[in-house]
Amino acid sequence: MVDENGLEVERTDYFPYGQVRSGGLEKYGFTGQENDADTGLMYYGARYYSPEYRVFVQSDTMLPDPYNPQALNRYSYALNNPVKYTDPSGHYVETAIDVAFLAMDINDIRTGNDDKWTYIVLLLMLYVLWRRV
């Protein structure tokens, strides 16, 4: 963390799965998620994550890609590869779909378009893209 002059006043370093390596514990820690000081868990919006045990403490309510063996563990964080992936919401798929629909909504408001078929086409495209990942 830096002050208004850009000078470092606090620094926290983390291990890949979110354990504190050095420094203090702020309200918002690893990947910007809220720390719960009472439990030691981090709140990811959809569920809580334990950096100590390196897993979510609740299972994912969405079934991820069944063809990716890393996705079959519904308690895992970032497909068990936190160096390459992050999980900002606790629901990886939901985030991608939400961003796509938000972009479409903004475009529809801007252009005055109210064509529902564009949403169906977008869903099909997202499904095809998701299957390739």
Angstrom distance (rounded) from CA 71 to CA 106? 31
pLDDT in tens, the chain (133 residues): 778 888 888 888 888 888 888 887 678 787 888 888 889 899 988 899 999 999 999 998 877 677 788 888 889 988 888 877 778 778 764 445 556 666 777 777 677 776 767 767 777 777 776 665 4
Entry pTM: 0.62
Q: Residue 89: which of 81, 120, 97 has the closest Cα?
A: 97
**Pair 86, 17: CB distance under 8 Å:** no
Q: Minimal CA–CA distance to 93: which of 53, 58, 129, 39?
A: 129
In 3D space, the residue among 66, 96, 67, 71 whose CA is nearest the CA of residue 81 turns out to be 71
Task: Provide the angle, in degrees to the nearest 10, between the axes of the packed helices 92-111 and 117-132.
Answer: 150
Distances (CA, A) of 63 to 3, 47, 67, 71, 93: 43, 15, 11, 8, 9
* Domain chopping of the chain, boundaries: 1-87, 93-132
Q: Which two tokens stand for residue 31?
A: 């990947």
